[in-house]
Chain A
Amino acid sequence: MERTAVRRRLSWQVATVVDVRRETATARTIVLDVPDWPGHLAGQHVDVRLTAPDGYRASRSYSIASAWTSTTIELTVESVPDGEVSPYLVDVLKPGDPLELRGPVGGWFVWKPEQEGPVQLIGGGSGVVPLRAMLQAHTSSTTPVRLLYSVRRPTSVIYVDDLKELAAADDVHISLVYTREAPAGETRVGRIDADVIDRLTFTPADEPTTYVCGPTPFVETVADLLVAAGHDPARIRTERFGPTGG
């Protein structure tokens, strides 16, 4: 790739919705065709902008849910009640519609297949979205990877079938933690705590790079637990999303 193509300033462009896929009662995956998309790293995001008929604009950041292996990109959006942007994306947008976006952006919360050492992914709710892109990118790598995924209840799990396939085909160790209601056969209901970190994630001696994504309180709690367990803060990468307007 030419250097000028990498080092460039970005601006808004118009993508076209190719497909939409319901993931849960409140989340949907949107498949987009973006003209001249330069490719992206797993973990990067885009900003999406909506413009009302009166000119009022609102923009939000959404993680890219897919690795760059095809000609389209996927976003998975969780609807925030009374949000300005997400309800439109989850309930209204349809194939053929245009969607204004800016990206790919973000150079910190990314995983590259050539990175050394095991990878620990920890997601809360729709914080699993960029982690799914990392899992897709990982299918061509032999680096050990684990996913710890905290959800409210079984019906809240995004990418149910995808995760099962990845666990089987790519030898990824996937653990689910349920905070409100567990499926039959699973007795523990509760948030991630020190015991869960100890039982279900790589130890500090494994020297993993850990990626934590979720709502701000989730990310800060998990990051604190990891540091308390002896993990090097420099190997913990975090990405927060939050309630600011949805």
Chain B
Amino acid sequence: MTDYLDGNAAAGALSEVFAVDVTAAIARCDGCGQTGVFADTRLYLNAPGMVARCAGCDHVLLRVVTTPTETYVDLRGLTYLRLPTP
């Protein structure tokens, strides 16, 4: 199945929440421990909101759901995000 994009396509939605670019950050999967740039995760848009999954084990890393009044950010599958210190 290739019905996914990649983490690059989450940049816009994440920019509404975070003041730094998260797509170039290093992310660690809490499922399998794989570490890599967030842009390389698999992004699924055929769901309410967007779901980013680990390219190694398919574990859910992050979900973003926007309603007319609020945005839900679910970071359940990320052990950490590593960003350059400003």
Contacts and interface: CB of A to CB of B under 8 A. Distances in A.
Q: Do A and B bind each other?
A: yes
Interface of A: 3, 7-11, 45-47, 59, 61, 102-103, 105-109, 215-217, 220, 237-245
13 contacts: A7-B20, A8-B19, A47-B12, A61-B9, A105-B11, A108-B24, A216-B4, A216-B5, A217-B2, A239-B39, A242-B2, A242-B3, A244-B45
Contacts of B3: 242-244
Interface in B6-51: 6-9, 11-13, 15-21, 23-24, 37-40, 44-46
B6 A238 contact: yes
Contacts of A105: 11-12, 15, 21, 23
Contact of A220 (B2, B39, B45): B2
Interface string B58-86: 00000000000000000000000000001
B15 A108 contact: no
Instruction: Point out which of A3, A9, A46, A108 has the most chain B C-beta atoms below 10 A from its C-beta.
Output: A108
A130 B73 CA distance: 28
Contacts of B19: 7-9
B79 to A, nearest CB: 20
B39 to A, nearest CB: 4
Overall SS of chain B's interface: mixed
Contacts of B15: 9-10, 102, 105
B26 to A, nearest CB: 11
A8 B19 CA distance: 5
Contacts, number: 88
Given A3-B86, A105-B12, 11 more contacts: A45-B11, A47-B12, A61-B9, A102-B12, A102-B15, A106-B8, A107-B24, A108-B7, A108-B38, A242-B3, A244-B3
Given A109-B39, A216-B2, A10 B8 contact: no
Nearest to A46: B12
Contacts of B38: 108
Contacts of B24: 107-108
A192 B38 CA distance: 27
Contacts of B4: 216, 240, 242, 244
Instruction: Point out which of B6, B23, B45 has the most chain A C-beta atoms below 10 A from its C-beta.
Output: B6
A215 B3 CA distance: 10
A45 B8 contact: yes
B11 to A, nearest CB: 4
Given A9-B16, A46-B12, A106 B21 contact: yes
